[in-house]
């Protein structure tokens, strides 16, 4: 074959194509674990806490990712999220190495894989075509422990890494973690107490049932000298006044790295709930505080102040006024998501908390701990004196005396950092167990690791009446939550049960890249057209009022003389006709403005598509043509110069 320029170019293109394919194959095989995260939010970069948990795995864990990828073609958002989930799972597998086995399964309809997905507890989402999309994860360990995410909802996209890491950590544990409970609330028997429990008629708190399903629970009573070593987290829920021996046991538990969830209350209405005898359960506790411990933790709760919040007041039955169905009750709060810390895993997905007669928390100046508010009131709040609240004022009385301090009161807070013991040594005691356990040799004056404590100034968060409606179905209670009280408690317990690495994880931003310029243009167009629409609406409203006034005046002129009535009727008819024409014109103009608004938004989309799909390729094509012409001209000049040099040499010869 003759080696001319055309053949050389074709051969070069063929070699480049072969080289391109070869380099891709080589990169896929050699650099499979090499990744560069170029996303603005670092969506595919694992946190240090996740890497720590994955590197500490002792036994292999298998994760089976069921994803109907072929069926997500018509759901672009789901497809993008699916790719993100798979990429993060692959990143976790690469970090864990052989300790984490990942299986990606695309369950075909009516296949063994689909049957397996259903048997593992995964849920499929039906499409309009009758297909079922599976998008879930099932994990298992070597001791038959299982964890599942039934379906990856985009509502929890910010918590993706946390959910995956928590699953891995739960599977790495051979048994369920043990939660120690210190409480004087009848959590396991309900308001009926032991009296109904002995008759088999008790109904435990719904929160207690949720905790029982997820953890091993161990009641520590309220008089103990040591927290058992198998307990990693203690839930203190409105206890009776604790003696020094028990306070010291909790203090040293924190010093050794134990975690505490403390719910204290200046006025506990759930404790005062009437039992079968019409009185509160015997031994109830009206108020609770852990002041000696909380002083060392760096937080204080005022024992005689109740927070009132006008903006977030619950609506309650008036009862005393038949003309008013519901009234605002400012000492019962319905706190929305804007009152929660969006960056803490515990509160990030809480939409509503229903609370009653809450206290407030304040950091102690000079404390060694960090004070992070989790739940707080609005600025439209004040504090009532406890004695006034206990006197039973009506909701209207509370609202009449309301004077906002324009201060947002902290109701729940996370405390982290080093802690100093609240005791100089073991307290004096005649108890044999205390003398055996609480010795000066075992005393820790400072925490061995940074403490992690959550304090909540309310106990009504546990009360079923505040957050759930219960119905009976086939002899069983069915819960219909109206608030996220149980979710908060479960989130907090699960978070505290995790390792320090898991607790360190925070929420992430969604994988969204909005067209900011287009959004600004859309907002500007809406503002311009909506202003015109508002003016026209006012004009129409004014015309309708004038027309109604004329019609009522015509009915009132029935007693006038016939001639006067005829003249008045004629004038009113002309006026009504004019107003109706004005109304017709205004409404037509309003429809025109609304149509322009839609057209304006559509034009913005058309412009964006034109710029990206048509104009940019045209620019690239023009640039390529100009560059080709430039090279051709340059080559022609080069060939002309060579020819000139050749002629010059020939003439010289």
Q: For the purposes of burial, counting CB atoms within 10 Å of the CB of 78, is it exposed (0-12), middle (13-18) or buried (19 or more)?
A: buried
User: What is the CB-side half-sphere exposure of residue 513 using CA atoms within 13 A?
Assistant: 6
The average confidence (pLDDT) of the chain is 81
Residues 450-473 have a mean pLDDT of: 88
Q: State how far the Cα of 523 lies from the Cα of 531, in Å rounded to an integer.
A: 12
**What is the architecture, at CATH level 2, of domain 41-169?**
3-Layer(aba) Sandwich (3.40)
Q: What pLDDT band is residue 418 in, cutting at 50, 70 and 90?
A: very high
Residues 551-577: tens digit of each pLDDT: 676 665 555 455 555 555 676 677 667
Residues 533-539 have a mean pLDDT of: 66
Neighbours of 223 (CB within 10 A): 15
Q: Which residues pair with 456 in a beta bridge?
A: 263, 412
Of 217-226, 423-432, 643-652, the poorest mean pLDDT is in 643-652
Within 8 A by CB and 6+ apart from 172, the residues are 53, 56, 57, 58, 59, 61, 141
- Residue 408 tokens, joined: 């947002």
Residue 593 has pLDDT above 80, yes or no: no
Integer angstrom CA distances of residue 283 from 184, 186, 239, 247 = 8, 10, 11, 20
Query: Which of 57-61, 170-174, 644-648 has maximum average pLDDT?
Result: 57-61
Cα-atom radius of gyration of the chain, to the nearest Å? 36
pTM of the model: 0.66
Q: State how far the Cα of 466 lies from the Cα of 273, in Å rounded to an integer.
A: 12
Calculate ∠ Cα 28-29-30, nearest 5°: 100
Q: State how far the Cα of 288 lies from the Cα of 229, in Å rounded to an integer.
A: 26
Cβ–Cβ under 8 Å, residues 467 and 354: yes
Within 8 A by CB and 6+ apart from 387, the residues are 304
Residues 213-268: tens digit of each pLDDT: 788 999 998 899 999 999 989 999 999 999 999 999 999 999 999 999 999 999 99
Q: What pLDDT band is residue 463 in, cutting at 50, 70 and 90?
A: very high
Residue 524 has pLDDT above 70, yes or no: no
Q: What pLDDT band is residue 283 in, cutting at 50, 70 and 90?
A: low
**Domains of the chain by residue range:** 1-32, 41-169, 178-303+358-378+407-497, 515-550+579-615
Q: State how far the Cα of 597 lies from the Cα of 593, in Å rounded to an integer.
A: 6
pLDDT of residue 489: 94
Q: For the purposes of burial, counting CB atoms within 10 Å of the CB of 540, is it exposed (0-12), middle (13-18) or buried (19 or more)?
A: middle
Closest CA to 70 of 111, 28, 29: 111
Q: What pLDDT band is residue 341 in, cutting at 50, 70 and 90?
A: very high
pLDDT of residue 474: 47
pLDDT of residue 144: 77
Within 8 A by CB and 6+ apart from 203, the residues are 190, 192, 477
Q: State how far the Cα of 283 lies from the Cα of 218, in Å rounded to an integer.
A: 21
Residue 390 has pLDDT above 50, yes or no: yes
Residue 222 in 3-state DSSP?
A: coil
Q: State how far the Cα of 332 lies from the Cα of 352, in Å rounded to an integer.
A: 13
Residue 455 has pLDDT above 60, yes or no: yes
Cβ–Cβ under 8 Å, residues 286 and 479: no
User: What is the CB-side half-sphere exposure of residue 102 using CA atoms within 13 A?
Assistant: 18
């Amino acid at each position: 074959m003759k080696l001319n320029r055309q053949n050389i170019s074709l051969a070069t293109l063929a070699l480049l194509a072969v080289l391109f394919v070869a380099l891709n194959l080589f990169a896929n095989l050699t650099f499979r674990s090499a990744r560069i995260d170029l996303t603005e939010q670092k969506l595919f970069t694992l946190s240090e806490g996740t890497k720590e948990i994955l590197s500490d795995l002792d036994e292999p864990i298998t994760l089976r990712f069921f994803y109907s990828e072929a069926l997500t073609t018509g759901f672009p958002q789901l497809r993008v999220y699916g790719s993100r989930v798979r990429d993060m799972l692959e990143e976790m597998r690469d970090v864990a190495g052989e300790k984490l086995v990942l299986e990606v399964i695309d369950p075909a309809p009516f296949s063994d894989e689909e049957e397996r997905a259903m048997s593992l507890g995964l849920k499929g989402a039906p499409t309009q075509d009758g297909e079922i999309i599976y998008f879930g994860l099932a994990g298992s360990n070597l001791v038959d422990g299982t964890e599942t995410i039934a379906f990856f909802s985009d509502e929890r996209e910010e918590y993706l890494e946390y959910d995956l890491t928590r699953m891995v950590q739960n599977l790495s544990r051979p048994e369920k973690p043990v939660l120690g409970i210190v409480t004087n609330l009848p959590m396991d028997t309900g308001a009926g107490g032991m009296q109904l429990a002995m008759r088999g008629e008790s109904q435990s708190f719904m929160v207690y049932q949720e905790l029982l399903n997820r953890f091993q629970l161990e009641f520590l009573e309220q008089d103990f000298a040591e927290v058992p070593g198998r307990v990693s987290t203690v839930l203190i829920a409105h206890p009776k006044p604790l003696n020094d021996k028990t306070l010291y046991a909790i203090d040293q538990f924190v010093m050794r790295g134990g975690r505490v969830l403390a719910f204290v209350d200046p006025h506990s209405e759930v404790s005062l709930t009437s039992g079968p005898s019409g009185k509160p359960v015997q031994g109830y506790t009206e108020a609770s505080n852990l002041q000696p411990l909380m002083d060392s933790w760096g937080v204080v709760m005022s024992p005689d102040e109740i927070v009132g919040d006008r903006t977030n007041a619950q609506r309650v039955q008036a009862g005393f006024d038949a003309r008013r169905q519901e009234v605002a009750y400012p000492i019962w709060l319905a706190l929305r998501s804007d009152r929660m810390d969006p960056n803490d895993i515990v509160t990030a997905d809480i939409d509503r908390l229903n609370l009653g007669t809450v206290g407030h928390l304040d950091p102690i100046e000079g404390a060694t701990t960090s004070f992070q508010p989790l739940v707080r009131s609005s600025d439209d709040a004040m504090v009532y004196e406890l004695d006034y609240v206990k006197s039973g004022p009506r909701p209207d009385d509370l609202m009449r005396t309301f004077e906002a301090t324009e201060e947002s009161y902290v109701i729940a807070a996370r405390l982290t950092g080093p802690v100093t013991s609240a005791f100089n040594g073991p307290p004096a005691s005649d108890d044999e167990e205390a003398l055996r356990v609480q010795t000066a040799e075992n005393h820790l004056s400072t925490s061995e690791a940074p403490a992690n404590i959550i304090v909540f100034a309310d106990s009504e968060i546990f009360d079923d009446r505040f957050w759930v409606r219960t119905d009976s179905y086939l002899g069983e209670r069915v819960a219909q939550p109206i608030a996220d009280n149980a979710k908060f408690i479960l989130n907090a317990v699960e978070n505290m049960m995790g390792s320090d690495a898991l607790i360190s994880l925070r929420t992430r931003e969604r994988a969204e890249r909005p067209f900011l310029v287009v959004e600004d243009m859309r907002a500007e167009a809406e503002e311009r057209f909506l202003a015109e629409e508002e003016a026209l609406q006012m004009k129409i409203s004014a015309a309708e009022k004038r027309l109604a006034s004329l019609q009522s005046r015509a009915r009132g002129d029935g007693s006038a003389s016939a001639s006067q009535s005829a003249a008045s009727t004629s004038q009113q008819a002309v006026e009504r006709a004019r107003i109706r024409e004005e109304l017709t014109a205004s409404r037509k103009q309003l429809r025109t403005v609304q149509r322009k608004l839609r057209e304006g938004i559509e034009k913005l989309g058309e412009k964006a598509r034109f710029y990206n799909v048509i104009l940019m390729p045209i620019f690239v094509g023009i640039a390529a043509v100009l560059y080709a012409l430039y090279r051709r001209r340059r080559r022609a000049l080069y060939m002309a110069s060579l020819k000139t040099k050749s002629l010059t040499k020939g003439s010289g010869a």
